[in-house]
Amino acid sequence: MDFSGNTPQHLLISATCFNAGEWSFPDSPLRGAYARQEVYAHIASWGDFEPWLSRIERCSKAMLQSIAQDIPIEWYGEPHDLDCLLDSLFERRRAVRCPIDDFRKSHRNPFPNWKLGPIAGTSSDRIRALAPMISVPG
């Protein structure tokens, strides 16, 4: 590894990833939110989450499995556990906007510059109702 500062370094902290050792997805608008509110100030619409939001929504099961091949077995133990996680991720990808929308509407007001528009102003309940209808390749 290059620690000279010339090469970008990436670190995955798995302590909070997938609810630590539970490999689950507790839905809470503030779970995982960064404490320093100013990091969210530049976000003004769903467009600020692109292209990643759309990529997540369109992610195929084959792509998830391909990514998972690089996960060390020590991180998940049994292959069945990883398969269950991938199945959950695949199903949840269509509703990825819901927790973002819940966070946006939370008492923290994380996105103070959010501009309401046809999609941004859509209620969480409406987004949840539409999520299963999104057609994405499987």
Percentage of residues of the chain with pLDDT beyond 70: 67
> What is the pLDDT at residue 110?
93
Residue 29 inside a domain? The answer is no
Closest by alpha carbon to 105, among 30, 48, 34? 30
**What average pLDDT does range 5-14 have in this prediction?**
59
> What does the CA dihedral 107, 111, 113, 115 come to, rounded to 10 degrees?
-90
pLDDT band at 87 (very low <50, low <70, confident <90, very high): very high
- Residue 50: domain span: 37-133
Residue 95 inside a domain? The answer is yes
- Total domains present in the chain: 1
pTM of the model: 0.65
Q: Picking from 20-29, 60-69, 114-123, which range would have the lowest pLDDT averaged per residue? A: 114-123
Residue 51 inside a domain? The answer is yes
Please write the tens of the pLDDT for every residue from 53-73: 999 999 999 999 999 998 888
Number of other CB atoms surrounding residue 83 within 10 Å:
13
Secondary structure class of 95 (helix, strand, coil): helix
Residue 66 inside a domain? The answer is yes
* 117 close to 108: Cβ distance less than 8 angstroms: no
Q: What is the CA radius of gyration of the chain?
A: 17
How far from chain centre, in Å, is Cα 50?
12
Residue 82 inside a domain? The answer is yes
pLDDT band at 1 (very low <50, low <70, confident <90, very high): very low
> What is the pLDDT at residue 113?
92
pLDDT band at 121 (very low <50, low <70, confident <90, very high): very low
Residue 138 inside a domain? The answer is no
